[in-house]
Structure 1
Amino acid sequence: MLKIDHLTKRFGGLAAVNDVSTVIEEGRINAIIGPNGAGKTTFFNLISCVHKPTSGTITFDGRDVTSLRTDQVARLGVARTFQTTTLFDRSTVLDNLIVGHRLRTHSGLWDVLRGSSRLREEERVCREKAREALDFVGLSRVAHRLAGDITQEERKRVAFALALSTDPRLMLLDEPAGGVNPEETEGLAELIRKIVRHGITVALIEHKMNMIMSLADKILVLSYGEKIAEGTPEEIRRNPAVIDAYLGSEHAEV
């Protein structure tokens, strides 16, 4: 689905991502792991077109998207969540989600001034998509609560719902279980499995190794901006370079 060839991003003399090639496989859970400062978030920023690479190419479903804007690649079907879930805290959860499907609407200023039928229909569709996304992530009960009043775990689910409301084909999840307890982590892992069962490919960055090893189909390991390993959880768990750079002996297979 997403092919990355020799991707490099330099900030001055620092190579945050250095000559990384990989494939995000369709219909699977693809994980990116590595120590702090390994280049994981920069890698996500590159493939979601937040940053432009210094060199290399990114191909989505056969189309070169390297030079596209973030909104353009989002319209092609790439959605993104962030480490910190930022919402409009004084708006309801439902109103926060209505923003997501705006990506797919066409009404402009003239429609707003006229109160056109197209604007009204698109408003209806946006609300419907928002409700569907909330139901999918199990949060219909908080639809009319202020976003500032919900829990951290619920905010994580709202971030998933916001991404889902854009009608994505690929979701990039940056530390989706950050800041939640083990029981909530397992609930979010099951939600990720549900997303993939519904035909959406997932790539995620996460530091919780127990979650990753039980969830991912494929793992890419970065260290100092470079790819040091790639494979199944079993292969990664027993890779000496990964054990030395990141996992430590407690995650190694005996």
Structure 2
Amino acid sequence: MLEVVNLTKRYGGLTAVNDVSAQFRKGHISAIIGPNGAGKTTFFNLIAGAVAPTQGRILLNGEDITGMRADQVAVRGVARTFQSTHLFDSATVMDNLIVGHRLRTRSGLWDVILGSARLRTEETLCRRKAEESLEFVGLSHIADRLAGDISQEERKRVAVALALATDPQLLLLDEPAGGINPEETVSLARLIRKLAEHGKTVCLIEHKMDMIMSLADHIVVLNYGAKIADGPPDKVRANPLVIEAYLGADYAQA
């Protein structure tokens, strides 16, 4: 589904992503791991269109999306969550989610001014999609609560629901389990597996290795911006370069 070829991003003398090539299969769960500063978030930013690559290509379902803007990439089915979950805290959870499906609508300023039938139809569609997304992540019961009043774990799930409301094919999840406890992490891993079971392709950045090793079908390891390994979890955890750069001998022998 997604292929990156010789992807590179330089900021002056700093190479944040260095000649990375990788493939991510449709319907699979892939993970990007590596030490802090390895280039993982920059890699996501390149795929999502937040920044343009210095060189290399990004192919989504065979289409070259290299250098496209973030909104153009989103329309093609790529949704992104962030390490820090930012919501409109003074709005309800439902109102936060209704925004998500707007990229699939066509009504504009004149529709708003005239109160057009198209606007009313699309507003109904956006609300329905928000309700479906919230139900999928198991949070229908908090739809009318203010986003600022929900827990950290609920915020993580709302972020996934917001991504789902855009009708994505590929979800890029940046540290979805960051800041939540072990029990919540297990529950969130079940949600991620559920996404794949419903035909979504998932790629996540995460530092919780027990979660990654039990969840991911495929792992790409970055270090200093370069890919040092990729493959299934068993292969990656036994790779000497990965052990030295990131996992450590104690984890590899566990």
TM class, shorter-length: over 0.9
Residue correspondence of structure 1 range 204-219 to structure 2 within 5 A: 204-219=204-219
Tell me, yes or no, if structure 1 residue 249 matches structure 2 residue 227.
no
AA in 2 matched with 1:153? E
Match of 1:239 in 2: 239
Match of 2:178 in 1: 178
Percent identity, aligned pairs only, is: 68
SS in 2 for 1:22: strand
Q: Return the alpha-carbon distance in structure 2 between the equivalents of residues 78 and 163 of structure 1.
A: 9
Q: Return the alpha-carbon distance in structure 2 between the equivalents of residues 217 and 250 of structure 1.
A: 23
SS in 2 for 1:163: helix
Q: Return the alpha-carbon distance in structure 2 between the equivalents of residues 250 and 32 of structure 1.
A: 21
User: TM-score scaled to structure 2, two decimals?
Assistant: 0.99
Does the CA contact (< 8 Å) of 2:49 and 2:67 recur in 1? yes
Q: CA deviation at 1:105?
A: 0.4
User: TM-score scaled to structure 1, two decimals?
Assistant: 0.99
Any stretches of 5+ residues in structure 1 without a counterpart? none
Match of 1:33 in 2: 33
Match of 2:195 in 1: 195
Does the CA contact (< 8 Å) of 2:27 and 2:201 recur in 1? yes
Q: Return the alpha-carbon distance in structure 2 between the equivalents of residues 101 and 253 of structure 1.
A: 46
SS in 2 for 1:97: helix
Q: Return the alpha-carbon distance in structure 2 between the equivalents of residues 219 and 26 of structure 1.
A: 14
SS in 1 for 2:16: strand
AA in 1 matched with 2:170? L
Tell me, yes or no, if structure 1 residue 19 matches structure 2 residue 19.
yes
Q: CA deviation at 1:67?
A: 2.0
AA in 2 matched with 1:208? K
Match of 2:161 in 1: 161
Deviations 1:164-213 (A, max 9, x none): 00000000000000000000000000000000000000000000000000
Match of 1:51 in 2: 51
SS in 1 for 2:46: helix
Deviations 1:132-153 (A, max 9, x none): 0000000000000000000000
AA in 1 matched with 2:119? L
Match of 1:152 in 2: 152
Tell me, yes or no, if structure 1 residue 223 matches structure 2 residue 234.
no
AA in 2 matched with 1:18? N
Deviations 1:41-90 (A, max 9, x none): 00000011101000000000010000211001100100000000000000
Does the CA contact (< 8 Å) of 2:51 and 2:67 recur in 1? no
Q: Return the alpha-carbon distance in structure 2 between the equivalents of residues 195 and 230 of structure 1.
A: 22
Q: Return the alpha-carbon distance in structure 2 between the equivalents of residues 27 and 136 of structure 1.
A: 17
Any stretches of 5+ residues in structure 2 without a counterpart? none
Q: CA deviation at 1:253?
A: 3.7
Q: Return the alpha-carbon distance in structure 2 between the equivalents of residues 101 and 2 of structure 1.
A: 23
SS in 2 for 1:176: coil
Q: Return the alpha-carbon distance in structure 2 between the equivalents of residues 20 and 200 of structure 1.
A: 24
SS in 1 for 2:52: coil
Deviations 1:195-240 (A, max 9, x none): 0000000000000000000000000000000000001100011111
Residue correspondence of structure 1 range 85-100 to structure 2 within 5 A: 85-100=85-100
SS in 1 for 2:129: helix
Q: Return the alpha-carbon distance in structure 1 between the equivalents of residues 43 and 68 of structure 2.
A: 16
Q: CA deviation at 1:250?
A: 2.0
**Alignment root-mean-square deviation, CA:** 0.6
